[in-house]
Amino acid sequence: MRATSPGGTTPQGPPSRSGSSRSPARGRTHVRSSSVDDHDPGRQDRRACHAGGVTDPATDRAALLVPEDAHVLGDRSAPVTIVEFGDLECPYCRAAAPVLRDVVASSGGRVRLVFRHFPLFEVHPHALTAALAVEAAGAQGRFWEMHEALFDHQARLDDDGLADRAVALGLDAETVVGVPAQQFADVVRRDYADGLALGVQGTPTLFVDGERYRGALTAEALRDAVRLSSGESPGRQ
């Protein structure tokens, strides 16, 4: 399935809110990729850096994957990083969430998870507002709690549902839903543009230490990928 922006055009980043084997969790909803240069000044800056020789491809790719203000689950200094480009209304992302949490929790501090927004706003009508809500919660130190709560209540991502989740976490609902949350639109647009630049076409898309992960979305398969990235043999206990 191919998604386009609400105007029927190729997506140029989420708009502002206006009112290897595959397991089942590897399902894909595709987004047609196109240039976002005119709508993403950050990407123009990155291309300018390349032209001027300021950065090398490896450095640029690392910045695309993990920005300085990234939301990190686990030890921020963990040697292995899993980056997920996800959509809070995507059922496959919901299925992946406990698996990824388990991999981080059982790693003994070796693995950290970074979540980046890639809302498939044409096919998931609440994905964008959910992304804004979780960013608003993050500004109050509750990103991962809101992230988990929205997946747990994925059938209720309308404004009332988002407000209920905010109240349950002790947050002011008015800061999470509606106009106040718009201040985080640039963060979501940046994540989306970075995803396109990295070749992301659907959710969830994972990178393990910078390499695209294409295996089964199970805890053991991901642990094997972590071991390989650390120079160990798969299946080692």
CATH number at 211 reads 3.40.30.10
Residue 25 covered by a domain: no
* Amino acid at residue number 89: E
Predicted confidence (pLDDT) at residue 10 exceeds the cutoff of 50: no
What is the rounded end-to-end Cα distance, in angstroms, of the chain? 39
Structural domain boundaries, residue 107: 42-229
At 57, the pLDDT band (50, 70, 90 cuts) reads: low
Pair 122, 4: CB distance under 8 Å: yes
Q: Which helix (H) or strand (E) holds 109?
A: none
What domain count does the chain have?
1
Stretch among 5-9, 66-70, 107-111, 184-188 having the lowest mean pLDDT: 5-9
Residue 169 covered by a domain: yes
Pair 176, 136: CB distance under 8 Å: yes
Pair 30, 120: CB distance under 8 Å: no
What is the Cα–Cα distance from 7 to 70, expressed in whole angstroms?
Answer: 30
Q: Which of 137, 62, 112, 120 is nearest to 86 (CA)?
A: 120
At 59, the pLDDT band (50, 70, 90 cuts) reads: low
Residue 31 covered by a domain: no
Residue 111 covered by a domain: yes
Give the pair of three-digit tokens for residue 82.
């899993």
Q: Give the tens place of pLDDT for each residue, 130-171.
A: 999 999 999 999 999 999 999 999 999 999 999 999 999 999
pLDDT of residue 3: 37
Residue 108 covered by a domain: yes
Residue 24 covered by a domain: no
pLDDT of residue 63: 84
Residue 88 covered by a domain: yes
Pair 203, 118: CB distance under 8 Å: yes
Question: Which of 22-26, 54-58, 223-227 has maximum average pLDDT?
Answer: 223-227
Residue 125 covered by a domain: yes
- Other CB atoms within 10 Å distance of the CB of residue 168: 13
